[in-house]
Structure 1
Amino acid sequence: MYELFILGQLMDHPMTGYQLRKALVNVVGSELTISFGALYPLLDKLAAAEELTISFGALYPLLDKLAAAEELTLAFKRTTNKRPQKLATITAAGRTQFWQLVMTPVALNKQTQLTFQIKLNFLHLLSRDQQQVILLDFQQFARGQVARLTAQHKRVMTNTHMLAADIQDALMVNELQRVRAQAQLDWLDRQLRNGGEVKG
């Protein structure tokens, strides 16, 4: 899921790890974002898989070229100045991996909702037909979510092993979840009526 996000963000332009994390916060919120301690190893893993390259950006192209040719070793002295930032750039292999990840149907698990939010962030990269595939997949998930919450509501209502106060609390939480899920489903229905082209 985070691999999809990183590769998708890099489809538009190269970014630093700091910029990637800020972009992720904007998409999923600060509670669900990835830490720098997890982000940088993931960037290194993607670089090792040749899905992206990491360089010191446009300010240091000659140094990068010389380092790649093993004509010098890069080391940086700590100063009070801003340290050089590594810039991640997607490769052809990374673009291929992005297309595979974004078009793969989302598995039903704890990350399903988050994965769809990430996919929605990249609809601008997709054709109208591809957008519709993503939205239909999300719509199917949302319909299932509404159905599961409705069934859960019925089970709570008929549960003879719960205290009345617990039933009321459970029904209140369930109602909130159903309202959210229905709002999401309604939004998806509107987008699909627009022909798969997402409109604000």
Structure 2
Amino acid sequence: MQLHLASITLDRQSSADYNTSNRPTIRSIFAKKSESRAKQMYELIILSLLMRVPLNRYQLAKVVNDKLGPHAKLSNGTLYPLLARLEAAGLVAVEPESAGKSQERRSRLFHITEVGRQRFQQLMMDTSSYQANYQQAFLFKVSSLDLLPPAKRFYVLNHYITYCQAHILHFTTEAENLAQDLASVPFPQAFQERSALAIRHLIQHWESEAAWAMQVRDLCTHEMEQAGSAKPADAQPC
């Protein structure tokens, strides 16, 4: 009987431990998704750089961090495991160290493989994995558009223009709804003005993004015309 009661106690304790400490929280779930998206974006940046020239780990870290800006950083603790995973998956290959060079691992050059080139194309055409921060992902894609075939190049551009237009429509509708809400509820005047100002800023931001993406598309069209290439059907305005 004592053993049976002890077993019940342990079972209850295990259940309590799961319910309190082992159960995933909403914050942890979103953190894992955010981390996964970030790693995929790092993978895209690294492969896009290696599409142009072999680089060592130090050079990759320097260029990637320059691209990320002042408030984000790709640490060695993230970069090194990512490169190891890319190598294990056959996406990159490592060149043997040249004679006379330092034996530090960072002096080894990473080359993109044919499988890596295919993965790069896949990441460039992926328009669903970055919905929460697709604006940042698109900024990285723009510098590598020339590595895509023309039809795919214009698909990526037109998708982002449509993405911007969807935001413009959303916030325009929100502005109209806000005006109705503020008319029916006696919010303080300062709150009303700042809320309206914030939404107008968002609308102008996405209008600017759409206009910029259209300029990039026009530039791509001009480059193709100069090269004597036919303009794909996807080059037409959205």
Q: Where on the TM-score scale, by shorter chain, does this alignment land: which range?
A: 0.7 to 0.9
Post-superposition offset of 1:44? 1.2
The 3-state SS of whatever aligns with 1:24 is helix
1:92 aligns with 2:132: no
Q: Conserved in 1, the CA contact under 8 Å of 2:46 and 2:60? A: yes
Query: Deviations for 1:83-135, whole angstroms, at most 9, x for unmatched residues?
Result: 85232211111111111211233446222111211111201212322211110
Q: How far did 1:181 drift?
A: 0.9
CA distance in 2, matches of 1:159, 1:33: 41
Runs (5+) with no aligned partner, structure 1: 64-75, 77-81
Cα separation, partners in 2 of 1:58 and 1:22, compared to 1, 3 Å = same
Secondary structure of the structure 2 residue equivalent to 1:159: helix
Q: Which one has a bigger Cα radius of gyration? A: 2
Q: Distance in 2 between matches of 1:177 and 1:57?
A: 50
Aligned to 2:193: 168
CA distance in 2, matches of 1:197, 1:104: 25
Inter-partner Cα distance in structure 2 for 1:84 and 1:98: 23
Question: Residue 212 of structure 2 aligns with which residue?
Answer: 187
Q: Which runs of 5+ in 2 are unaligned?
A: 1-40, 225-238
CA RMSD of aligned residues (A): 2.9
Structure with greater helix share of residues: 2
Matched AA of 2:190: A
In structure 2, relative to structure 1, the CA distance for the partners of 1:84 and 1:16 (3 Å cut) is closer
SS at match of 2:111: strand
Distance 2:100 2:53 in 1: 17
Higher relative contact order (CA 8 A, sep 6+): 1
Residues 99 and 172 (structure 1 numbering): CA distance in 2 closer, same or farther, change over 3 Å? same
Give the alignment's TM-score, normalised by structure 1: 0.76
Q: Deviations over 1:48-72 (max 9, x none)?
A: 11111234654579x9xxxxxxxxx
Query: Which TM-score applies when normalising by structure 2?
Result: 0.65
